[in-house]
Amino acid sequence: MKDRSTQVKLWTTDFILLMLCNFLLFLQLHMIVSPLPSYVQERFHANAFEVSLFTCLFALSAIAARLYSAKALEKGLRNAMIYIGLSVALLATLGYYFAAGIAVLLLLRMIFGVGFGMSSTAFPTMASDIIPVKRMGEGMGYFGLSTSLAMSMGPIIGVTLLQGSGFVTLMLCTAAVIVVIYPLSYSLTRKKATRSHAGSPQTSAGPVANVSGTKEKIPFNRKLILPSVLNCLLSITYGGLVGFIVLYGKEANLANPALFFLFNALAVLLVRPFAGRLYDSKGPKALLIPGAIFVAIGLTILSFATSMPILFVAAFIYGIGYGSMQSSLQTWMIQIVAPTQRGMANGMFLNTLDLGIATGALLLGAIASMTSYTDMYRYSVIFMIVFLLIYLIQGKRSGTFAVTVHPLLAHTHISGTDSDSKESSSITPAEK
């Protein structure tokens, strides 16, 4: 008899709407992240360090907001996080028009980070609640595609608008994207919590009970530390791209360096569906090790780019690695926590992503100011070497590279991505 959980549809209306909302949320962010350093440098004659602050302070304020958002989601304040967050981000975006100096613009970026941090935690948490457990890798891979595509398409749109129509037009278009999210998210936020197909409680609309029926506050899961560190290291390399690719293009005399993100997006589109299925059958090791190698090769080729075709090759190779690794790390973090802590897991994923981008902007920006943007991208390969060393050493020490799925989900998970029968056999009848 076929397992009922495998019959649950992945592509539901709610899942598609969540992907669209998440795509638009990250699109409006990255429409302004990449062109902003160029605008600030030209308008205010900022140096490399001042330029890096715009990425760094935004990321740190988003992290601070998510620390509260994860707790709020556990308490059932999902709708408040979405709508308050969107409103704060919208007001801060419109405020760019009145920014006459670097200090005011930095303050607005921090306020925007608070709003973005609040709203960006809710959508992936809601998605992880409705994705069938046995298709979690595939489902989060597709959902993560909305983030990766936005991170790839946003810079292209933003740089084009800035160069063609100016900063005010860019600001208004970014604000318009935020406005569109309001009606799209309405049908999602008016629904109450349901129970999953596997019997595990959903947490998208309020606090839930554990298997014994009593409310319980689950302590922080230390297993989140390893994938969080790895996600941060990966994101450092991306911080060097979103923060400085336009300025690098000027240094290397590249006609339109923002097209890097277009070819990066194409690679992500191609790799994500296969990466999700491979994760479900083989686990993260099959994606993280080759993915890190692809990212390192992509960055190395980028540092030698003297023409647009070489830039496109670098972008495509980097995209294959980044696209397969990012969704794998997010799925890993979701699988090892209880259903009630998915908000925390998604918050940790997004926080370490932003922390990595902030660190990359500051650290790599400092390297660029002392050397060049060419050398900066070569130095960023070191973070992928550290990534591989940490992952391989930890795997050797623990004796396995498999993901130990949380007991509430282990009995419905595909064998091969965790400790298989050992984990399943440890589940008590009460958990079943």
More confident residue, 111 or 131: 111
Nearest in space to 136 (alpha carbons), one of 18, 285, 280, 269: 280
Candidate ranges 8-17, 83-92, 334-343; pick with highest mean pLDDT = 83-92
Going 214 to 222 to 346 to 140, the CA torsion angle's sign is negative
Q: What is the mean pLDDT of residues 201-209?
A: 38
What is the distance between the alpha carbons of residues 409 and 200, in angstroms, rounded to a whole number? 8
Task: List pLDDT tens digits, range 2-23.
Answer: 444 445 677 888 889 999 999 9
In this prediction, residue 8 carries a pLDDT of 66
What is the distance between the alpha carbons of residues 309 and 359, in angstroms, rounded to a whole number? 29
84 phi, psi to nearest 5 deg:
-65, -45
**Number of helical H runs and strand E runs in the chain:** 15, 0
Q: What is the mean pLDDT of residues 363-375?
A: 88
Q: How confident is the model at residue 429 (pLDDT cuts 50, 70, 90)?
A: very low
Task: List pLDDT tens digits, range 234-253.
Answer: 999 998 888 788 889 888 89
Candidate ranges 154-158, 209-213, 304-308; pick with highest mean pLDDT = 304-308
| Mean pLDDT, the chain, integer | 80
pTM value is 0.73
In this prediction, residue 272 carries a pLDDT of 80
In this prediction, residue 212 carries a pLDDT of 40
Q: How confident is the model at residue 415 (pLDDT cuts 50, 70, 90)?
A: very low
What is the distance between the alpha carbons of residues 420 and 210, in angstroms, rounded to a whole number? 23
